[in-house]
């Protein structure tokens, strides 16, 4: 059974947020990397996949601060402490085919006897009773070692690096180009900020959509990392020089990205001073966490680390003041003609709470660009090659394109454009010449891919992957998951469920039902979290992961899970009154007992 954590020394919420693994001693020299290849270190592939993906989340190529167990998003952790991590690994290796490990906010708390089709792991992270679901209460518990922030895919062990959000970001900017500019973003200057684990997808997504990206980050290491991974084309330190270069690239129709080392506020206020209005404006700084994620203006990253540790209350107040300035600048640029949207980091709410009444003058990205896909059960379907071999991803890419021919639908055509854009030599992929294939941007940790698929598509892809494993065309099983940001798994009134047609933005029954449906359907592990993406008190959301190990039993589970999971999105949006979802439910012959459409 999992071991009990030893008592952590008392510390402030700020120091705990900075050093979540402090109680286990100095782990700075520890490097975690997932096993590769076809050999099991656990008793089942479901447990093995959970172990490998947990370790993959903390791979130095993947995690933002692996020594602190922080994967992304300020303080989104994979496990509560290093002793808890070790106990999880030990439990997974001993887990029988009819047992399930229970994980409470990153700490293993028990193993129960279930059955072979039950999940091997059930995870609950960061959940608080609503009246007590405040940042202060969470921080007090975290300081005592009693809870951790799981973000979305950090604490549910299915983060795949920046690529995990890349296609969703691409879908958003591409849809913006279609809706607002008659096709794509060519000749359009797109300005944003935040180049960390999630935001780092933005520059590449913008250029894939044909636009020119100008992105600010106060942390030069974040910019360097995206440059290394080929998500960012160049970095210019001077704000004015970066603006000039990006304006010139946009004028030339050059799909190129420019990073600039500065605070987002400095970039936006300088654009206003120079009377330069971007075509598209958004933001992905870590505003969901004013203490650990966001950096106030006039403060370096090093200075921020000192101030937040010594004066957490004052630091938070400074962050909120900067967020108000940040949103004011965004609204002013919107008034001057910039197509402006919130990208789900809750910065509007922070500015509103700080006294800026016009903070919600611009809408969120989901109601603006993504909800029509949610109505069809479409969302971020992702998979990773447990073999560790890039070739396995190339093979799955090739077969996915064959499974969904480009002429089949508009979405299939988008899928082909997306998959081919991930390859340096798309002709080699189309020809099945896998020895010549090369990724356009680096894989981080275990090779992985993401693409948006909907109801009626996801289970077909899962069965295809299972067949590839069964026939030995790929070297080891494939693990299939998704972001918690999906069609029917999230209640987040300032993001995924913003402006629901029937006003049910804050109803989280759907996210809870989603988790229960995936448990009943036989997912390999299921998670339920609070606060991911937008911060404590603002969201609840569920995740599921399923393993294609090549067996008939896996095929049955894959078909159930990958049908029922996206069906929850269709149920949710059909119930809210969306015609597209109601028509999708009818076409798919979903059983809706009180259908009165």
Cα–Cα distance for residue pair 282/264, rounded to 1 Å: 11
Q: State the angle between helix axes of 264-273 and 239-252 in degrees (0 to 180), rounded to the nearest 10.
A: 70
Q: Answer positive or negative: Cα dihedral of 21, 25, 26, 30.
A: negative
Please, are residues 242 and 214 in contact by the beta-carbon 8 Å criterion?
yes
Cα–Cα distance for residue pair 231/96, rounded to 1 Å: 41
Cα–Cα distance for residue pair 112/96, rounded to 1 Å: 10
Query: Taking Cα atoms as reference points, which of 294, 279, 272 lies closest to residue 347?
Result: 294
Give residue 420's Cα distance to chain centre: 22
- Selecting among 195, 451, 487, 584, the annotated active-site residue is 451
Dihedral of CA atoms 424, 428, 430, 433 in degrees, nearest 10, equals: -140
Please, are residues 434 and 517 in contact by the beta-carbon 8 Å criterion?
no
Query: Taking Cα atoms as reference points, which of 592, 565, 361 lies closest to residue 462?
Result: 565
Using DSSP's 3-state secondary structure scheme, residue 292 falls into: coil
Q: Quickly list H helices, 144-253.
A: 163-181, 202-208, 220-228, 239-252
Within 8 A by CB and 6+ apart from 127, the residues are: 105, 528, 529, 530, 540
Q: Tell me which H or E stretch contains 542.
A: strand 540-548
Strands 280-281 and 257-261: unpaired
Q: Which two tokens stand for residue 565?
A: 């999971």
Q: Quickly list H helices, 483-533.
A: 509-521
Give the burial class of 90: count Cβ atoms within 10 A of its Cβ; 0-12 exposed, 13-18 middle, 19 or more buried: middle
Within 8 A by CB and 6+ apart from 211, the residues are: 173, 177, 184, 185, 186, 188, 189, 190, 250, 255, 279, 280
First to last CA, the chain: 51
Q: Which two tokens stand for residue 416?
A: 């082909």
Distances (CA, A) of 400 to 390, 412, 449: 16, 10, 11
Cα–Cα distance for residue pair 168/458, rounded to 1 Å: 16
Q: Which two tokens stand for residue 525?
A: 């592990």
Q: Which two tokens stand for residue 351?
A: 């500015």
Q: Which two tokens stand for residue 89?
A: 């690994």
| The length of the chain, given as a count of residues | 597
Whether 451 sits among the annotated catalytic residues: the reply is: yes
Please, are residues 77 and 69 in contact by the beta-carbon 8 Å criterion?
yes
- The residue written with tokens 């004028």 in the block is 251
Query: Taking Cα atoms as reference points, which of 332, 302, 298, 301 lies closest to residue 318?
Result: 298
Dihedral of CA atoms 263, 267, 270, 275 in degrees, nearest 10, equals: -160
Q: Please identify every residue annotated as catalytic.
A: 451
């Amino acid at each position: 059974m999992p071991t009990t954590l030893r008592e952590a020394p008392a510390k402030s919420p700020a120091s705990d947020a900075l050093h979540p693994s402090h109680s286990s001693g100095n782990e700075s020299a520890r490097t975690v990397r997932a096993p590769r290849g076809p050999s099991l270190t656990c008793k089942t592939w479901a447990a093995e996949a959970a172990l490998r993906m947990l370790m993959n989340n903390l791979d130095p190529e993947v995690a933002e601060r692996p020594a602190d167990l922080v994967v992304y998003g300020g303080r989104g952790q994979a496990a509560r402490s290093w002793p808890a991590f070790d106990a999880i690994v030990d439990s997974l290796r001993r887990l029988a085919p009819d047992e399930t490990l229970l994980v409470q906010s990153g700490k293993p708390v028990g193993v129960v006897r279930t059955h072979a089709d039950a999940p091997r792991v059930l995870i609950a992270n960061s959940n608080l009773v609503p009246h007590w679901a405040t940042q202060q209460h969470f921080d007090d518990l975290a300081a005592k070692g009693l809870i951790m922030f799981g973000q979305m895919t950090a604490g549910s062990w299915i983060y795949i690096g920046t690529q995990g959000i890349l296609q969703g970001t691409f879908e958003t900017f591409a849809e913006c180009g279609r809706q607002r500019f008659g096709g794509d973003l060519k000749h359009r200057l797109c300005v944003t900020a935040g180049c960390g684990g999630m935001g780092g997808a933005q520059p590449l997504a913008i250029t894939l959509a044909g636009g020119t990206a100008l992105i600010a980050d106060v942390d030069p290491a974040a910019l360097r990392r995206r440059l290394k991974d080929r998500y960012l084309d160049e970095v210019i330190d001077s704000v004015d020089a970066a603006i000039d270069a990006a304006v010139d690239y946009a004028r030339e129709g050059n799909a190129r990205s420019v990073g600039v080392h500065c605070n987002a506020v400095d970039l936006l206020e300088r654009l206003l001073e120079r009377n330069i209005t971007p075509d598209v404006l958004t933001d992905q700084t870590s505003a969901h966490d004013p203490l650990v994620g966001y950096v106030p203006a006039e403060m370096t990253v090093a200075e921020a680390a000192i101030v937040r540790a010594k004066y957490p209350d004052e630091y938070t107040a400074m962050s909120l003041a900067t967020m108000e300035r940040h949103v004011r600048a965004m609204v002013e640029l919107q008034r001057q003609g910039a197509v402006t949207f919130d990208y789900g980091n809750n910065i509007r709410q922070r500015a509103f709470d700080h006294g800026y009444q016009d903070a919600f003058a611009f809408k969120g990205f989901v109601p603006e660009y993504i909800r029509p896909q949610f109505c069809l059960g479409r969302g971020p379907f992702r998979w990773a090659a447990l073999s560790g071999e890039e070739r396995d991803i190339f093979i799955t890419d090739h077969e996915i394109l064959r499974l969904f021919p480009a002429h089949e639908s508009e979405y299939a055509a988008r899928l082909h454009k997306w998959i081919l854009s991930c390859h340096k030599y798309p002709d080699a992929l189309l020809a099945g010449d896998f020895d010549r294939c090369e990724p356009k941007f680096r894989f981080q940790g275990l090779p992985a891919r993401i693409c948006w698929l909907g109801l009626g598509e996801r289970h077909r892809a899962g069965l295809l992957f299972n067949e590839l494993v069964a026939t030995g065309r790929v070297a080891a099983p494939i693990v299939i998951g998704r972001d918690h940001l999906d069609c029917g798994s999230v209640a987040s009134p300032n993001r995924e469920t913003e402006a629901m047609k029937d006003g049910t933005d804050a109803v989280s029954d759907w996210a809870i039902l989603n988790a229960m449906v995936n448990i009943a359907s036989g997912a390999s592990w299921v998670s339920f979290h609070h606060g991911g993406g937008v911060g404590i008190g603002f969201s609840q959301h569920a995740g599921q992961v399923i393993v294609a190990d090549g067996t008939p039993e896996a095929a049955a589970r894959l078909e159930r899970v990958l049908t029922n999971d996206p069906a929850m999105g269709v149920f949710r949006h059909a119930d809210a009154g969306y015609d597209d979802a109601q028509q999708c439910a009818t076409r798919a012959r979903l059983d809706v007992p009180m259908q009165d459409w």
